[in-house]
Structure 1
Amino acid sequence: MIAIDTTFFAHSEAKNKKLTYSTSIFTADLLDAFVQLGAAGNFCLIVNFNHVDFFKERFPAYKIVAAKWWPVTLLYKLTRGKKTATKLIKKCGAFRKIAEKCGAKAIWFPYAMNETFVRTNLKTFATIHDIYRIHHGTQKEAAKFTEFINDKTTSLITISNYTKNDIINTTGCKKDIPVIPNSIVFDVSRQQKVPGLEQKKYILDLNAYVEKKNPMTLLKAFNLIKNKTDLNLVFCGGYKEDSIWNKMQEYIQVNQISSRIKLLFRVKDEERNWLLANAALFVTPSLFEGFGRTPVEAAICRIPVISTKETSLFEATQGLCNYVENATDEKELAELMLNIIENPQEEKQLEEIAKKLACIYKAENCAKLYILSFRSYI
C-alpha cells in the first residue's frame, strides 16, 4: 500500500467542499482515476485531522488516516476552528510517525515543496510541478528545495519535460525523472450562466491575478483593439495578489474601459464551465507554468486559444494553438488577437485539436503511468 499526502489541500476547500487550487484539482483527478481503474485499495490518504469528513465524503473508496498532534487539535478546539496550526504536525515529527505506522510501504507527495515534504523511512515519491521557488524565492528557500530534489532517498516525477529539464539544468540533479502530465478532467456540460455576459461576446483569461500570470499585458493589448471589436474581456481567477489586482483596477479606471472589462473571482464550477464553453477567444499571457492547464481546457472546449511560449505552455498545448513570441509585448498580442477575431478558425480544425488533447490528458491514462511508477510497492 502507498500513503498519499493530501494535507496540502486548503482549509477553505475542505470547509466549502470545493476544490479551487490547481494542485488539489490535479490530485483529486488522479484519485478519481485510481477508483475508475479499481486501484483505490492500494492507497491510503493522509489528511489533516479537520478535513476527515470532507475526504470521507469526497473519496469514500479510500482508507483515511488523520494527521493529528494533540497540542494542535486542542488549539483548534479551544479557538473553535479559528486557528488550525496544522503545519506544525509536519514540523514536530507527528506526520512522520503517522505515515510510518499506517501500514504503507511507500509514500507519495503529489505536491512536493519545502513546506509540504517530510522525510520518512518509507520509500518516497514526489511530484514536482515547477521550481519557481528556486528561481524566484529567497536564497534559503532555493537552497532547501535544491537539497530536497537531490536527496537520494526520494524518487522524483515531473508534470512536463520543461520542469524536468529545468530541474536538471538548474540543480544538477542526476536522477532518472519520469514525466507524467497533468490529467484534464471537467464536465463542461454542468453549466450556469454568469450574469451580465453574452455568449461568444467575450475574450477569456482563466488565471490567478498574480504577476507571473502577466494579466497586465493582456489588459493593455485589449485596450489597443477595443474600438476594433465588440468583444469584451473577462478575467477569472481563484487567487490574487493585491498589488496586481490594484494595478489592474487602476489601469481600467484611467483608460475608462470598465464597461468592457469583467474581473471575476472564485466563481462556481458551473460558472467556470459556462465561461469556457461560451468564450469567443481564450488568451493566456502567462510567463511561468509548470504545466498550463487552462489553455488545454479551452482548446478541449473547441475555443480558439492564444498562448505564450513561456516555460511549459507550448509543450502542454502540443504546439496546436496560436502563440506570441514576446510574452510581454502588448502590441504583438493585440495584433494576433485581432487577426483571430477577424479570421476565425474553422470548426473542423478546433474539433481535431480538442480530440487530440482530450486523449493525451485522459485521467485514466495518466493514472496508469503513476501506478506503473509505484508498481513495486502496491
Structure 2
Amino acid sequence: MRIGIDLTFIRPDHTNGGTESVIKNLMKGIERLQMKGEMTDEVLFFIHTSLYKEYRRTFPSLKFKPYKMPGKHALRMILFQTLYLPKLANKEGIDVMFFPTFQTGLNRFDMPVVCDPNDIQFRYYPDNFSKAKWIYYHIFYKSSLKKASRIIYISDYVKGSYEKYYKRYIKDKGVTLYTPIDFRLLSKEQGMTENLKKMIKPGDYILSINSLQKHKNLITLLRAYERYINDFRDKGEIPEKRLILAGARCNSANEIDDFIESHDLTDFVTVTGFLKEEEIAWLYQNASLFITTSTYEGFGMTPVEAMAAKCPVISSTETSLPEATLNMVTYYENAYDDRALYEAIKSELAIKRNTPKEMKAINERREAVESKYNIDKVTADYLRVIREAAGVSDASGVAGDSGVAGIQSDTGVAKKGKNEDEEDLYRGLYRYSRERSEENGKKMPGSEEEFIEYVKSNPETDRQSLKERAIALSGIRNQVGLRKIAKKLPQGVQDKLRRVFS
C-alpha cells in the first residue's frame, strides 16, 4: 500500500512550532520501522522545493515528491493542496492521504483522508487572531473534518474541544493518539555547539523552550524571574541562575524584547531564536529547572522532553499540560500569577537533587514518559489508524510479534522477488546496525550502498566474509553482538538471517 503524507504546511522559516516537531518525530518513527524491517508499506512525502534538500539530508532513506510553486507560503499551500495535490496523489498511486494539520485544501480526494488537526486555539483565544484569520481557520478546520475518514486527536483534552465545537463533523471518526517523541538525543550527552557558545554565558540557568507566541505566556515567566533576581539585587549579589528562552520568534517576540530591555534584564535573560535539535537537547541536559507557563497546549511536548532529560519541571495547569506530563511534575496556578510561579521557582531550586529519593523520582518520571510516548509504538499506532482508514488490515503493513508481514493480495501490489527481498533484508540489517551504533556514540564506517554492493558481488556461499563485513560495518566486534541485534529484529527477518548466516 502507498501512503501519502503532506508536508506543505511547513514554513521555510520553521515557525510552525510543535506541529513541525511532531511530524519530524513521526518521520523518524517511520524510518526506524523501515530500518528494522517492520514496515512494508511505501510512504511518499509531498514537500515544497524550498525545504526538500534540508529534509532529504535529515531523512535520507525516506521518499519525497518535491513540488515547485512560487508565491508566499500560505497562498501556495492552499493552491497546491486544493488544485494540484488531489491529482498528484492519484498519479502517484496513493491509497490513503495523511495530513498532520487541519490544512488539507478545499477540494476532495479520491482516496481516504486521515487528519491530525491539532488544537483549536483560535476558538478559545479569538483575540489573538484577526477576524480574517479566524474565518480562515474556521473554514479550513470544517473542510478538513468533513472530508476526513479518520481524525487523530493529540490528547483527550483536544478530543473534548472538538466534541464541543465540531461534534456534527467528527462522529465515529476520532481516536486519541499521543505525540511520538524521539528521546535518543536526550539519552546521549550532547556537546555545546559553537553557536551556543556564542550566545550562552557560563553558569547555571533556568530554561523555557517555546515559540515566542502570546499564548505561551512568557511575560508571566519574565515577571516571576524578575522577582527571583530582585532577591539577589536587594543583597547586592549576582543572581545564581540566568534565564534562557529558546524558540522561534513569533507574535510575542517584540513584546518580550521590550520587557527584557525596559526591566533591565538584558544581562540575565538570553533569547536564542530557532535552534537545532542537538542544541535543544544540550539545553535540556544542562538546565537547573525547566518552566512552561503556557495557557493553551493541545499536547505540550517540551515539558515531556525535559522530564526525559531528567530536568525538574514547573508547569501551569492549563489545558492538556497535566495530561501530557502525567501529573508527575510541579504545577502552579493560575497561569498568569507570577508570584505563585516565583514561589514555585524558589521551592524547586531549594531541593537537593542528588539524594536517593530525588534521584528515584527523577528516574521514574523519565521512564514514565519514555514508555508512554515511545516513538516506535506511537508511530505504529498512527500507521494502524491510517491503514484502517484505507480499509486494509494492519497486519500487512507493520509487523507484529509474528514477524514481517506479507503484502495483502487485494492491495494490487505484486510480491517482491527473492533477490529484491534479500536486498531489503540486508538494507534493513545495515540501517538497524547503523542506528544501534549511533546510539552507542559510534559512526558506521561504510555506506548502505557499499554494503549492498558487497553483498551482491560476493557468492552466496561466502557466508563467513559476509558475516565479517556485516559485523565490521555495524561497528560490532563479534558475532555475539550481531546475534543480539538480530534478536531485536522481527521474527521473519531473524529466520532469513539464520538461513543466510548459517
In 1: Cα distance, 2:51 partner to 2:93 partner: 21
Richer in helix (by share) = 2
Matching of residue 360 in structure 1 with residue 372 in structure 2: yes
Deviation of the 1:213 alpha carbon: 0.3
CA contact (8 A) 2:3 2:41 kept: no
Give the secondary-structure state (helix, strand or coil) at the position aligned to 2:108.
coil
Q: 1:253, CA displacement in angstroms?
A: 2.9
Equivalent position SS for 1:296: helix
2:162 counterpart residue number: 167
Deviation at 1:95, TM superposition (A): 1.6
Alignment of 1:1-378 (within 5 A): 1-12=2-13, 21-38=17-34, 39=39, 41-68=41-68, 72=69, 86-87=76-77, 89-90=79-80, 93-113=83-103, 119-135=108-124, 136=126, 137=129, 138=131, 139-148=134-143, 150-151=145-146, 153-172=148-167, 173-186=170-183, 187-188=185-186, 189-192=189-192, 194-195=196-197, 196-199=200-203, 201-226=204-229, 227-228=231-232, 230-241=240-251, 244-345=252-353, 346-375=358-387, 376-377=391-392
How far apart are the structure 1 equivalents of 2:148 and 2:262?
A: 55
Deviation at 1:60, TM superposition (A): 3.4
In 2, the alpha carbon distance for the partners of 1:247 and 1:6 equals 31
1:133-156 residue CA offsets vs partner (Å, 9 max, x unmatched): 333254523531452254155321
Q: For 1:249-282, what per-residue CA distance to the aligned partner results, in whole angstroms no more than 9, with x for missing partners?
A: 3333333232222122123433322211111111
C-alpha separation between the residues in 2 aligned to 1:336 and 1:121? 53
Q: How far apart in 2 are the matches of 1:368 and 1:91?
A: 26
> Offset of 1:185 from its aligned partner?
1.2
Q: Distance in 2 between matches of 1:255 and 1:65?
A: 49
User: 2:242 and 2:50 mapped to 1: Cα distance?
Assistant: 42
Equivalent residues of 1:5, 1:45 under 8 A apart: yes
Q: CA separation of 1:252/1:34 partners in 2, compared to 1, >3 Å: closer, same or farther?
A: closer
Shift in CA distance, 142/279, structure 1 to aligned 2, threshold 3 Å = same
**Superposition RMSD in Å:** 2.6
Whole-angstrom distance in 2 between the partners of 1:282 and 1:40:
40
Q: Post-superposition shift, 1:91?
A: 5.8
Q: Is the 8 A contact 1:204 1:233 kept in 2?
A: yes
Question: Are the equivalent residues in 2 in contact too, given 1:40–1:62 (CA < 8 A)?
Answer: no
Q: Do the aligned partners of 2:150 and 2:385 also contact (CA within 8 Å) in 1?
A: no
Give the Å deviation of 1:183: 1.5
Contact 1:105/1:122, CA 8 A, preserved across alignment: yes
Partner SS, residue 46 of structure 1: strand
Whole-angstrom CA distance in 2 between matches of 1:147 and 1:85: 19
Alignment deviations for residues 328-365 of structure 1 (CA, whole Å, 9 cap, x no partner) = 00011111111111124512211111111111111101
2:106–2:140 CA contact under 8 A, matched in 1? no
Task: Give how far 1:307 is off.
Answer: 0.3
Do the aligned partners of residues 255 and 55 (structure 1) sit closer, same or farther apart at CA in structure 2, a change above 3 Å counting? closer
Q: Which consecutive residues of structure 1, in runs of 5 or more, have no partner in the other structure?
A: 14-18, 77-81
Note the alpha carbon deviations across 1:101-148, whole angstroms, 9 max, x for none: 21111100012236x675311101001211123332545235314522
The AA in structure 2 aligned to 1:27 is I
User: Alignment identity in percent?
Assistant: 25
Q: Which moved more, 1:287-296 or 1:104-113?
A: 104-113
1:133–1:141 contact (8 Å) kept in structure 2: no
- For residues 138 and 9 of structure 2, the distance between their equivalents in structure 1, rounded to whole angstroms, comes to 22
> Counterparts of 1:118 and 1:28 in 2: how far apart (Å)?
26
Q: Secondary structure at the match of 1:151?
A: helix
Q: Which amino acid aligns with 1:208?
A: S
Match of 1:16 in 2: none
CA offset digits 1:210-230 (Å, max 9, x no partner): 110000001001111212552
Structure 2 counterpart SS, 1:347: helix
TM-score, with length taken from structure 2: 0.66
1:224–1:334: 8 Å Cα contact kept in structure 2? yes
Pair 225,66 (structure 1): closer, same or farther in 2 beyond 3 Å = closer
Any gaps of 5 or more consecutive residues in structure 2?
Answer: 233-238, 398-502
- The 2-side partners of 1:351 and 1:40 are apart by 36
Q: State the AA in 2 paired with 1:327.
A: A
Give the counterpart letter for 1:25 in structure 2.
S
Whether the 8 Å contact between 2:4 and 2:43 is mirrored in structure 1 is yes
Contact residue 103 and residue 144 of structure 2 kept, 8 A: no
- Length, aligned pairs only: 359
